[in-house]
Amino acid sequence: MKFKSTFTFLSILCYGLLVSATHLSERAIEPPVNNSLFESFVPLSESPKNVIRNYTFELRKVNLSPDNFTRQVWSVNGQYPGPLIRANIGDTLNITVINMLGDPTSIHYHGLEQRNTSWYDGALGATQCPIPSGVNFSYVFNLTQSGTYWYHSHFSAQYVDGLKGPIVIHDPNDPHKNESDFEYVMTVSDWYHTPTGDPGMLPRFRRKNYVGFDPLPDSGEISGVGHYNCTIPTCNPNKFATYSVQSGKRYRFRIINMSAMTHFRISIDQHPLTIIEVEGTPIKPVTVYSIPINIAQRYSVIVVANQSVGNYWIRANLSHCSLPTDNFTINNETPVFANDQITGILRYDGAPLTNPTSQPYPTNTSNCHDPDNSILKPLNPPSPAVPQGTNITRINLEIAVRYRQMSGNNIMFFGMINNSTYHPSLAYPSIQKVIDNSSFGSSDNAYTYNIFNEPIEILLNNTENRTHPFHMHGHTFWVVAQGEIGSYNQPLSSLKYDYDNPTLRDTLTVNELSLSVIRYYANNPGVWLIHCHIEWHIEIGMVAQLVELPDAFRSLAIPDNPSIRSVSQKIRIFGQLNENNFDDSDCWNDQGI
């Protein structure tokens, strides 16, 4: 590998921090349950210009029992889920990460486009090197969007172990601001009792000759609270995620799926849900009894407290279609199928402190599809249509999970895009390759386009008989077409396109054996990952890189920030990452991505 001897940008990104690493001391441990998720709030007051909102995230491993089973959790400020970030559109976020995990890490701000700040996207191997343990790193970027987002580690499978939290960006001009009196954040997630790191779940999943399916979770949670084996003495069967409401008031629930592999269906007994936001985009209100939500997706719904004073079940049903069991898994003894209805409580003020007796709406958990795009219509749609005769760049991505024959009659499990498995260069990120005008290798899975404002269409061809939630960094996109299930390589001429007012989002469920077409404009220079958000599939390489406007990216002013100045040779000082250990026959660098 070629290393630079000058102070290049590579620096963070490759450990500029190393030259100024500090000795860190423990802080007082905050309450392990993130109680702020059960506290209602109202939008922030409109910000004056040039507001900087500062957050400090101290990352460390602590013993917690979110579902009554105690295990080591990768925490933010001692909490799980991590603290809620709140700001206004136009503000600047300054997030200082203090890494005390004993492992490298990074933080990705899911759904935030990082316009002209690709180096703060937190995607290891693409936009930065890992932050070593014992080192501080600051992410500083402007907020150009509003809506519901989240943050999570983008190193190995750390977010599965707990390193994740919600983000709410308010807009004083939100067209739906008068439709609610208060707001809540609600997260849903699957949960594993075995940590992912060595010698845990991930190395076992990636070992040679493993031919099973993805590791199954042990339980599920609402806002970090779940139930597991309430026969043990320490279990509190009455511990539920509980949201308090006042009769007659309207509540905006910002719902986020932070799972590793599980699709959920959300409902509240006797309370319809009116969807008003999809991943940062205000939509025309539509009322449903339940809402399907795949990994990394977000919705805002209005819940009106117009029923009799009492207690009502909040239901987060795990969809079995996202938990394949046709073959064995590492942990097929998991009890998750016996506890697949995760519950919380909507409690009216004045109601007794008892469990609900309410009955559910009929729900359909037989598929893992998104709501029909015909009902998710942006309120003030920008048009995705292009003038007749305009050139459109189309990138075809065929997605699959395959076994590959290795040396010595071994086989291994690989995620693939166009029959290629992504191998990140953790010590030489792709944005540095762009700056150096270096070439990309085949395992970089890189696709380059260099015409400003050019319309780009990504064709996502799912060759598998299961859904894949695909997320794109750096953009929201229009879902302009979805083909028939069972016809994944469907001719484009047979598709029904929607250019009038298509769904706009950043995480799409690509249906089984089908084709989805997404469109956006090339207007955000940088390197952006596009990947399946089933964490196990990320870790086996179902990832591609979109190298957008490389000439424009090279002209951007890289910030003169102490956190991103160093020489790349110092990467190896801490001994936490050595690319010489990379062995293709092992599928992956042990650190993952």
Domain residue spans of the chain:
10-174, 189-375, 393-568
Better-scored residue on pLDDT, 247 or 412: 247
Mean pLDDT within 125-152: 94
Say which CATH architecture domain 393-568 belongs to.
Sandwich (2.60)
Mean pLDDT within 396-421: 83
pLDDT over 70 at 568, yes or no: no
Question: What's the order of all strands across the beta sheet hosting 311-318?
Answer: 241-245, 341-348, 311-318, 264-268, 291-293
Mean pLDDT within 556-568: 55
Mean pLDDT within 186-215: 84
Mean pLDDT of the chain: 86
Cα–Cα–Cα angle for 52, 53, 54, rounded to 5 degrees: 110
CATH topology agreement for domains 189-375 and 393-568: yes
Which range is least confidently modeled, 3-17, 314-328, 343-357, 566-580? 566-580
Name, of 140-149, 195-204, 401-410, 568-577, the range with top average pLDDT.
Answer: 140-149
Better-scored residue on pLDDT, 381 or 192: 192
pLDDT of residue 35: 72
Percent of the chain surpassing pLDDT 90: 68
pLDDT of residue 408: 61
pLDDT of residue 275: 99
Distance of CA 431 to the CA centre of its chain: 21
Better-scored residue on pLDDT, 3 or 509: 509
Residue 324 · residue 312 · CB < 8 Å: no
Mean pLDDT within 387-412: 80
pLDDT over 50 at 15, yes or no: no
pLDDT of residue 26: 31
pLDDT of residue 382: 77
Q: Retrieve residue 122's tokens.
A: 């937190």
The domain 189-375 is placed in CATH, from the list 2.60.40.420, 3.40.1410.10, 3.30.590.10, 3.40.50.300, at: 2.60.40.420
Distance of CA 15 to the CA centre of its chain: 24
Residue 528 · residue 544 · CB < 8 Å: no
Q: What are phi and psi of 345, to 5 degrees?
A: -130, 130
Q: Sign of dihedral through CA atoms 523, 504, 150, 174?
A: positive
Better-scored residue on pLDDT, 386 or 76: 76
In angstroms, the CA 10 to CA 428 distance is 7
Confidence at 560, pLDDT banded by 50, 70, 90: low
Confidence at 409, pLDDT banded by 50, 70, 90: low
Cα–Cα–Cα angle for 194, 108, 25, rounded to 5 degrees: 70
Confidence at 426, pLDDT banded by 50, 70, 90: confident
Mean pLDDT within 45-56: 92
In angstroms, the CA 559 to CA 561 distance is 5
pLDDT over 90 at 358, yes or no: yes
pLDDT over 60 at 562, yes or no: no
Which range is least confidently modeled, 28-37, 68-77, 167-176, 433-442? 28-37
Residue 5 exposed, middle or buried by CB count within 10 Å (0-12, 13-18, 19+): exposed
pLDDT over 50 at 527, yes or no: yes
pLDDT of residue 587: 25
Residue 71 · residue 32 · CB < 8 Å: no
Return the residue matching tokens 């939290």.
165
Q: Retrieve residue 108's tokens.
A: 């990705």
Better-scored residue on pLDDT, 229 or 104: 104
pLDDT tens by residue, 201-245: 887 777 777 767 788 898 999 999 998 877 777 777 778 999 999
pLDDT of residue 259: 98
Task: Please list, residue by residue across 371-401, b when 16 or more beta carbons sit within 10 angstroms of its beta carbon and e when fewer do.
Answer: bebeebbbeebeebeeeeeeeeeebebbbbb
pLDDT over 90 at 331, yes or no: no
pLDDT of residue 579: 38
Residue 431 · residue 557 · CB < 8 Å: no
Q: What pTM was estimated for this model as a whole?
A: 0.91
Under CATH, which number does the domain 10-174 receive?
A: 2.60.40.420
pLDDT over 50 at 31, yes or no: no
Better-scored residue on pLDDT, 165 or 586: 165
